[in-house]
Structure 1
Amino acid sequence: MQDEAEDNGWTLAKNFKLHLHPQTMKEKYNLALDPLPVDVPLSTIYRDFFKYLVKHTQDTFTYRVLDGARVWKTHIPSADIVIAHPNGWGLREQEFLRTAAVAASIVPESQSHTRIFFVTEGEASVHYCMFHADLASQFEPNVRFAVCDAGGSTVDITAYSVSEVHPQLQLREVKPSACTQAGGIFVNKAAEDYFHRVFSDPGAYLRPDEIKDFVKHAIDDFEATVKKAFKDVSSKGSLDIGQSRYTNPALGVKRGRMTLDGATTKTFFQPSVNQIVNSLKKQTSGIECKHILLVGGFGENTYLRETLRRIFETRTAKSKAVSDGVVIWRAASSVIARACRFQYGCCGIERSPVKGIDGRERIPGVWHPIVRRGDILQSDEGAAEEFCRFYQTPSPDLGCVSSVIYAYTILGRKEPYYATNVDGKLVCTVTADINVSGIRKKYWQLDFKIGIQFGGTELQAYLEWIEDGKTCKSPAQIIPNSLI
């Protein structure tokens, strides 16, 4: 494949997943992104990537399943599509993936909102562990544990508490999940930087094209051999640099093979491992966590497993946790309560004290949080706060009533008093067609509630009011998951 790519002038779209990360994540970790191929947008890459996945899935299914071609043709037109993504991704990224799936002809656009489902990699992983590792039989109510999904780019960590074991396992998120940029590709990046420094040294006596070729061969062999086998500083590795005639004792290269001592290799791993350890300590602090389940491709790395085993007490699962977990999640979701990542509420724009038409003084513009960061919401329940509006006519034509929901996304800062200090993001507007008879007075007061609830893995906002003695609810408005 490499030779074919060189002959045809193909360019590798390396680590293209990082380009879809939210801007806040890119800025937080100061990500250095590999450039995409010239004149090839990210949407085209994802479209073709999805086509590739579906084509090879179909080929494998047809070959391995009895009467697979007929079964595929019969059921794929109505099949649900579940896409897993990092914990830190949200609505913007989900809409991008949904559009790419439509462009790849996986589902028609008219069915894209009813047949495409999204789940975080952390939640998919916990379903894999519960099903394949047979952990449900070992858990009791109120036992708390964490799932660490160490993948290629992100490491997603979520803490759970067991609510029920029988007749079906039910879990609750204990606190907002964490998403850290400490996956396996950053180990490769550190190794690549090292190889480039070594082969660029004047004492290497190499031309620029030779340096590029040596670095490429070294990093490819590192990922295939040394990276998987590394356990501790006593581990030694040997890499093929692609030129058997090259020998340079000063660089540790003999007949085309480069020797790596354990101390050097450890420096490639340590920054990522330190971030994972710190994130795990933060997620498990104060919750009496009894188990840490390590999954994901990078989670199979020996050095990472041994480090976490030494610091924590872990159980490991196979690397295909997410792909299996999304199927299990769709079939039987076990998570019944999730934690909010930010505050949500309503705000105004005025600060000056004013006298309302009811004669009482108020201070508009005060921040009214409905849910706070870390609040646990069950999937079938919500949190609501009471609000009211005043109208100067005794019988107003209410018609469509709307309220704007904001998110306070700044972490580590004291909760604001005034809404104008929120620096919040407008996340959605909830509306309702309200037809309520008023009492004939000098003014008219409308009492209603603004609520927030989980619908599946998505937060939803709604209005609630009393009409003719009955409780009414507006249609739920999805809050962008990038702000959940």
Structure 2
Amino acid sequence: MSRHNHNLFDSANAYSMYGNSRRSDASSMSDEPFPGPREFTLPLHTQTSSDRISSSDFNESEEQYTHSRAASSTFQRSSKISSATSNSGDYGDATNLVAITEGQRLVIAIDYGTTFTGVAIVFVPVDEKTAKLSDIKVLREWNSSYNEDKVPSAYSYTKPRASEEQWGTSFSEDAEIMVYTKLELDAQESVIGELDMILDNLDGMKDLSSEYVVSSKGEPDYTPKKPDLVVLDYMKKIFERVWKYLGVYDQALLLSLPVDIIITHPVVWSYRARNATYRAVTLAGFNGDKFPRLENIKMLAEPEAAAVYTARYLKEEEPDKTVLEKNDTFILCDAGGGTVDVVTFRVLETEPSLELEQIGEPHSRKCGSVFIDGEFKTWLRDELLGPDDYEKLEPNSKKRIKPHSTTGRKMRDVMKSFVEHKCRFTGDEKADHRFTIELPAEFEGLSIQDYVDEGLLKLDCNDMMLLFEKCVDEIVALVKRQEKEVMTKYDDQGIARIKSILMIGGFGESIFLQNVIREQMEVNDITIHRPATSWSAVLRGAALYGIDKSRLKNYVRTQRFPNYYAVARDTEETQGAGLAQYQDPITGKFMGKSRLTWIVHRGDLAFEDWNLSQETLLAFTFRENDEKNFTISIYKYLRKDNILPTRVRPNDPELENVLAIPISFSNVKLDSLDMYKSSGAREPYYQCVVSLYLTWRNESLEATVVWNNNVIYPVTAGGMI
């Protein structure tokens, strides 16, 4: 078995989740965190040459998405965390209820992950700032006989054969299952990611062949829906289960309680991915329509939640193993199915309650356990079976193997066995001498030297180590980088050295991963610790955060945009492709005049801080002697429907020009700009690309424009550029 350049995929239980096997909190692999710095993003919606288009993203009834006026969301960005917890415990089914009374409030925590999703529910007195962990009810009533702290983040559009629910763990034998969709929310941030998903859709729908279209009878197994809409359909199932759980309570009393909802997200995640999650959760039913006294919807970074819970759990539930004292510094490694987050915290106080402070910047990579499965599948196809035989396992996979895709019955059975072996893998050659996986009936007579005997696939310890290698190496590099940066930056500030690494998340339960990190960090006298409930640490921490909301400060308040907003600009088009065209005298290109790019949709997540908001890039061109003053025009759609116009027409009754943003490049030195010359241009020209951010503050729309890393609007002291 040789190494590949491909990444690897899964989160421990990601395939056994489709079968009957179950894992306890202490032995399952989960999902989690996320990647990449905030990137420049293209407009959310493509425009057409027709005069009107329909808003395609979340084309749901707006009535489903009603918030109370008091409701707002909060993105956790504070450097200090504090809360108070107690013990955990095994939470039973929905009949194990707590009594609720007037004077209480309801906290709902939602942890949507790459491979698993969980929901926690807490009833606490309105003025209570602390609660026991035993007060946190982790929902375990999912599909029929599946009762675990989390349910697989899996969904299928295949028609059920009998009573299958086609989500979570309940699937028909022939189901094509959408898995790891969370990864695709962030993949849309890049052009390559967008193109990759288009190719996946074409593969899944047989390149739109007429035979496939006819045979599907309008209900294809492979959905053409975008990832955010798949997440919405999945979250509707989650909400149904939560609503069923809450349905046993006195409804008049339940609906009279104040409600806080906490949604977790990866530590570094794009606005678009956060917005897609926020919209899916709220449109699914977690909104003011269902909860009339909804006060807050808050978004919380996963490591923040995990740190609060894990540190307190070790302090209160495992006092004989106490590893944290005042002024201690520790690294939290949240290793899930999709990504791995590494963050450093310092203990400010241990009594009367635990208080933590984040140190330095967090780091995140897409190197979670789902990438190990992808490596295994790549090896099966490229080195063992070959593309033709591999297609018997997983049709439509000759071109690419990716974690976020669909999976059929045969591959699910193979991967279920592989994941079970992967979860138990320790790296000990004696304990992990041989792993066997039974291939489907088509391979019954197949034998390949050293690897396959009459359809029985055999892997040894070295084979498994090679499959783990890339992910584990990247995680070790993340941890070492975090340690080095923190100690380099804070060594002269009297901050104690890092003594512990707390491992949480499904992949964090891997004995092999723990052993490798322990071996790599022993030279620095750093110890490894993992709480028994590490799989659900993020979920439980989010619930604690909701309980302790008055004690946690420094949040960036957010709301939802109440309207559709577009930027009007002249855009390059094919000659004759649309109305109101002209040939640009500067570039020689054919342009569509006053085209609308809808950068904000009604219900989108709105931040007061422009640094957290969606970025839209706008280009301005001019020649040396041209006027260099421009106006960015922002329009609001006045109608209640979502049939949005694509251009500004004179005296258009559907549009209102709500912002006219003046910008000027008059004082810019031309020799500092790039010069362009196109075949249709008579003389060279220059171009400046600015970033536009829309925010919602004090019930009004505001804009920020950034160029060359400087805010040029609103204008501060010193005037325009």
Pairwise CA RMSD? 4.5
Q: Normalising by the residue count of structure 2, what TM-score does the alignment of the two structures yield?
A: 0.43
**Aligned counterparts of 1:303 and 1:240: Cα–Cα separation in 2:** 24
What residue is the counterpart of 2:437 in the other structure?
A: 239
Q: C-alpha displacement at 1:303, in angstroms?
A: 1.0
Answer whether contact 2:414 2:439 (CA < 8 A) is retained.
yes
What residue is the counterpart of 1:40 in the other structure?
A: 225
Q: Partner amino acid for 1:14?
A: V
What residue is the counterpart of 1:266 in the other structure?
A: 465
| Change in CA separation of 1:209 and 1:112 when aligned onto 2, cut-off 3 Å | farther
| Change in CA separation of 1:247 and 1:114 when aligned onto 2, cut-off 3 Å | same
Q: C-alpha displacement at 1:423, in angstroms?
A: 8.2
Find out whether 1:250 has 2:433 as its counterpart: no
Answer whether contact 2:373 2:415 (CA < 8 A) is retained.
yes
For each residue in 1:53-72, what CA deviation from the matched residue of structure 2 results, as whole angstroms up to 9, or x when unmatched?
Answer: 2333455x46xxxxx70157
SS of alignment partner, residue 179 of structure 1: strand
Find out whether 1:124 has 2:338 as its counterpart: no
Find out whether 1:157 has 2:342 as its counterpart: yes
- After TM superposition, the structure 1 = structure 2 runs for residues 27-106 of structure 1, keeping only pairs within 5 Å, are 35=201, 37-59=222-244, 61=245, 69-70=248-249, 74-75=253-254, 78-106=258-286
Q: Partner amino acid for 2:325?
A: E
| Change in CA separation of 1:113 and 1:39 when aligned onto 2, cut-off 3 Å | farther
Q: Partner amino acid for 1:107?
A: N
- After TM superposition, the structure 1 = structure 2 runs for residues 205-220 of structure 1, keeping only pairs within 5 Å, are 206=389, 208-209=391-392, 215-220=411-416
- Is 76-85 or 282-291 further displaced after alignment? 76-85
Find out whether 1:329 has 2:545 as its counterpart: yes
What residue is the counterpart of 1:176 in the other structure?
A: 361
More helix by share: 1
| Change in CA separation of 1:8 and 1:274 when aligned onto 2, cut-off 3 Å | closer
Q: C-alpha displacement at 1:166, in angstroms?
A: 2.2
What residue is the counterpart of 1:229 in the other structure?
A: 424
For each residue in 1:296-351, what CA deviation from the matched residue of structure 2 results, as whole angstroms up to 9, or x when unmatched?
Answer: 0111112111111212321012211111111012212677679x9x999xxxx9xx
What residue is the counterpart of 1:275 in the other structure?
A: 474
What residue is the counterpart of 2:327 in the other structure?
A: 142
Answer whether contact 1:293 1:315 (CA < 8 A) is retained.
yes
Find out whether 1:307 has 2:513 as its counterpart: no
Q: C-alpha displacement at 1:47, in angstroms?
A: 1.6
Q: Partner amino acid for 2:530?
A: T
SS of alignment partner, residue 291 of structure 1: strand
**Which structure 1 segments of 5+ residues have no match?**
63-67, 350-399, 405-416, 433-449, 451-462, 466-484
| Change in CA separation of 1:221 and 1:8 when aligned onto 2, cut-off 3 Å | closer
Q: Partner amino acid for 1:189?
A: G
Q: C-alpha displacement at 1:114, in angstroms?
A: 4.1
Q: Partner amino acid for 1:39?
A: P
Q: C-alpha displacement at 1:245, in angstroms?
A: 3.3
SS of alignment partner, residue 221 of structure 1: helix
**Aligned counterparts of 1:106 and 1:116: Cα–Cα separation in 2:** 9
What residue is the counterpart of 1:395 in the other structure?
A: none
Answer whether contact 1:82 1:326 (CA < 8 A) is retained.
yes
Q: C-alpha displacement at 1:130, in angstroms?
A: 2.1
**Aligned counterparts of 1:200 and 1:301: Cα–Cα separation in 2:** 28
SS of alignment partner, residue 40 of structure 1: coil
**Aligned counterparts of 2:381 and 2:315: Cα–Cα separation in 1:** 45
| Change in CA separation of 1:215 and 1:429 when aligned onto 2, cut-off 3 Å | closer
Q: C-alpha displacement at 1:211, in angstroms?
A: 6.8
- Is 261-270 or 232-241 further displaced after alignment? 232-241
Q: Partner amino acid for 2:368?
A: G
Q: C-alpha displacement at 1:258, in angstroms?
A: 1.1
**Aligned counterparts of 2:352 and 2:389: Cα–Cα separation in 1:** 67
**Aligned counterparts of 1:13 and 1:151: Cα–Cα separation in 2:** 19
Q: Partner amino acid for 1:260?
A: L
For each residue in 1:363-389, what CA deviation from the matched residue of structure 2 results, as whole angstroms up to 9, or x when unmatched?
Answer: xxxxxxxxxxxxxxxxxxxxxxxxxxx
- Is 180-189 or 307-316 further displaced after alignment? 307-316
Answer whether contact 2:311 2:324 (CA < 8 A) is retained.
no
| Change in CA separation of 1:343 and 1:257 when aligned onto 2, cut-off 3 Å | closer
**Aligned counterparts of 1:179 and 1:326: Cα–Cα separation in 2:** 19
SS of alignment partner, residue 248 of structure 1: coil
Answer whether contact 1:157 1:177 (CA < 8 A) is retained.
yes
What residue is the counterpart of 1:368 in the other structure?
A: none
For each residue in 1:101-152, what CA deviation from the matched residue of structure 2 results, as whole angstroms up to 9, or x when unmatched?
Answer: 2321221379899432111111111122023222796533321111111011
Q: C-alpha displacement at 1:25, in angstroms?
A: 8.0
**Aligned counterparts of 2:412 and 2:358: Cα–Cα separation in 1:** 42
Structure of higher RCO (CA pairs closer than 8 Å, 6+ residues apart): 2
Q: C-alpha displacement at 1:19, in angstroms?
A: 1.0
Q: C-alpha displacement at 1:240, in angstroms?
A: 2.0
SS of alignment partner, residue 498 of structure 2: coil
Q: C-alpha displacement at 1:27, in angstroms?
A: 7.0
What residue is the counterpart of 1:316 in the other structure?
A: 530
Answer whether contact 1:247 1:255 (CA < 8 A) is retained.
yes
Q: C-alpha displacement at 1:157, in angstroms?
A: 1.1
For each residue in 1:254-274, what CA deviation from the matched residue of structure 2 results, as whole angstroms up to 9, or x when unmatched?
Answer: 343211011111111111111
> Which one of the candidate residues 190, 196, 204 is aligned to 2:381?
196
For each residue in 1:176-215, what CA deviation from the matched residue of structure 2 results, as whole angstroms up to 9, or x when unmatched?
Answer: 111111101101110111122345349xx94843575765
Q: C-alpha displacement at 1:173, in angstroms?
A: 1.0
- Is 73-82 or 279-288 further displaced after alignment? 73-82
Answer whether contact 1:58 1:72 (CA < 8 A) is retained.
no
**Aligned counterparts of 1:171 and 1:294: Cα–Cα separation in 2:** 17
| Change in CA separation of 1:428 and 1:320 when aligned onto 2, cut-off 3 Å | same
Answer whether contact 1:171 1:337 (CA < 8 A) is retained.
no
| Change in CA separation of 1:250 and 1:326 when aligned onto 2, cut-off 3 Å | same
Q: Partner amino acid for 1:192?
A: K
Q: C-alpha displacement at 1:155, in angstroms?
A: 0.5
**Aligned counterparts of 1:281 and 1:267: Cα–Cα separation in 2:** 21
What residue is the counterpart of 1:397 in the other structure?
A: none
Percent identity reads 20
Q: C-alpha displacement at 1:21, in angstroms?
A: 1.2
| Change in CA separation of 1:121 and 1:211 when aligned onto 2, cut-off 3 Å | closer
